Amino acid sequence: MLFDRPIPIPMVDDLVHTDHAPFCSDPTCPCHEESVALDTVATMVEDGLLTPDEATRFVQGRQL
């Protein structure tokens, strides 16, 4: 009821999260559930800039 997941960490680390790389490699970081960033990736797939597989790796913070 109180905390069923780690305490959210504000996305203040601009060195990790940028417009070009909104997702870091830390799987526990809330950026991987950031809806705005996910929408951006979805748009990139629609525009043909990323394949769905690349988008998945991108969201997971892996190299393309």
Residue with tokens 């951006």: 40
**37 sits near Zn ion (criterion: CB under 5 A):** no
**38 sits near Zn ion (criterion: CB under 5 A):** no
Residue with tokens 């769905």: 52
Among 20, 27, 29, 46, which residue sits at the site for Zn ion (rule: CB under 5 A)? 29
What is the DSSP code string of 35-59?
A: HHHHHHHHHHHHTTSS-HHHHHHHH
**41 sits near Zn ion (criterion: CB under 5 A):** no
**24 sits near Zn ion (criterion: CB under 5 A):** yes
Binding site for Zn ion (CB under 5 A): 24, 29, 31
